[in-house]
Each structure stands twice: as structure tokens, then as C-alpha cells.
Amino acid sequence: MTRQIPMLFSPAMVGALLAGRKTETRRILNPQPETYHNDAGEICDIYPFKVEGETRSRIASGFGGCGVITTQECRAEIGDLIWAKEAHYAFGYWKTTDDLTKKTQKPKRMFVRNSTKPVLFDAPTGVMTGQPEQQSGWYKRSSLFLPKQESRLTLCVNSYGIERLHDITAAGAIAEGIDRTEGAFVAYCDYEDSPDDFYEWFSCPKASYRSLWNSINGAEAWAVNPWVDVTNFDVLHQNVCQVAA
């Protein structure tokens, strides 16, 4: 049976998926795999390993394809369907409940959606602000709350692998969906290095992707150089349930 995997995407990356620029995604492996060195001081490889009889690949570490197989599984396999979770607008209202939050011991608020109205991905007229009590209208909702049956983008996995973040190539950075402006690659956050490097920043796809990574994961996230899984896919502008049917 084909697996259907939810995955969060930022607004910028949803735009890249819709435009056809994005055909890959890199996600941090959690927990990070343990590594070790051989007698020559070389660090071991981290790679997917298919265990006979299991449907999903494990993550292994070693040299020359021989090593230790962990219990950690790869996020996606060839043929899996990823459905994109994205920010959207839902019609409904907020109400106060009788339950208390653990941190503040104040009454919890909950959003009650009117499921007879489909979600919208473009802002409608008169979007409500704040969380007024019992006032129906259109509210912007986090990608966390997008219902599976109302997703609009399905990613069909073609290949997958594991690498260190800094090993991304120029082609990989472009496949991640980075945008161009006037022939150069876009910077997704403020550039803090010297002005002499400014032209290189925009002309290099990998530098553009570095700025995108930091804008999503934090200002120092690139410097950590984590192990990531790399998923390559085709984008279908259809709901995942329709694709799987």
C-alpha cells in the first residue's frame, strides 16, 4: 500500500512548488546519526540500507557499504506520496473552553471550523484578525491544521538519499526551488558579510540556498552542517487522496 506522508512547507516553498521550480527537499535527520572514524581518520558514510523483509529503508553507518544498521528509518521511499501542508484560510470561529493550559492555567482557546466551506489558499476579503470570541469569519490558519482531504499538492517520490547539508551541489540548490531576480539568485535573509561578497552571494545557487535554510531553520542553522535526508519528487497539482485512488 502506498504511504501518504504529510510534510510542512513554508509559503516561499509552496510558491516554488506551484511554479514548478522545486523538485527536491532536504530535512534534518532527527536524531542525528552517530558517526565514527577509521584508523586513517576518515569519517564513516551515512546511507540508506534496505533490510530484507522490511518496507522502509533504515539508516546505516560504515565504510564501503559495510557498517552498523540503526533502528532509524528513512522518511520517504520511492513511490511514496507526500502531501504538502501549507498555510490556508478557514471559515469558523474561536471559543473559550473549560480546559486549562498547563503553563498558565488559563482557559484554552479552540478554533471551530465550518466544514461546509472549503479552505482557501488565497486571502479572501475581510479576513478576521485576532481571536474574538464566537465571531464567525475567515481566519488564517497554520499549515499544521490543513486537513489531508483538502491538500492541493502531492509529491510523488522518485529517489531519496542522505548527505551532509554542505554537500549540496549547485544543481541541488536550484532543485530546492530557489528563485532568481534579474539573472541572479535571491537572498532569503539579510546578508551580514562584507560588501565585497555581495555579488558572489547572489550569483551562487548554493549561497542562495544557504540563506533560505537559515531563514527557515534559524540564523546559525547552516553552520551546524547536519545530516539531512534528500527527497526528489514530481509535483502533482492534485489532492493526495485523488492521486492514491
Tell me the pLDDT of the chain averaged across its residues: 92
Q: Are residues 135 and 205 both part of a single domain?
A: no
pLDDT at 13: 95
Q: Are residues 67 and 6 both part of a single domain?
A: yes
Model pTM score? 0.89
Q: Are residues 15 and 54 both part of a single domain?
A: yes
Q: Are residues 125 and 207 both part of a single domain?
A: no
pLDDT at 182: 79
Q: Are residues 127 and 115 both part of a single domain?
A: yes
Residue 15: count other Cβ atoms within 10 Å of its Cβ.
Answer: 15
Q: Are residues 195 and 81 both part of a single domain?
A: no
Q: Are residues 154 and 197 both part of a single domain?
A: no
Q: Are residues 233 and 176 both part of a single domain?
A: no
Q: Are residues 42 and 97 both part of a single domain?
A: no
pLDDT at 194: 42
- Cell numbers for 150: 483538502
Per-block mean pLDDT, blocks of 10 residues, the chain (245 long): 93 96 97 90 91 90 88 92 98 95 90 96 97 97 97 97 96 95 80 53 88 90 96 98 93
- Cell numbers for 178: 530557489
pLDDT at 103: 87
Domain of residue 63 covers 1-85+150-164+227-245
Q: Are residues 22 and 137 both part of a single domain?
A: no
Would you list the DSSP string of 186-233? PPSS---S-GGGHHHHHH-HHHHHHHHHHHHH-TTHHHH--EEEEEEE
Q: Are residues 245 and 154 both part of a single domain?
A: yes
Do residues 64 and 58 touch, judged by C-beta distance below 8 A?
no
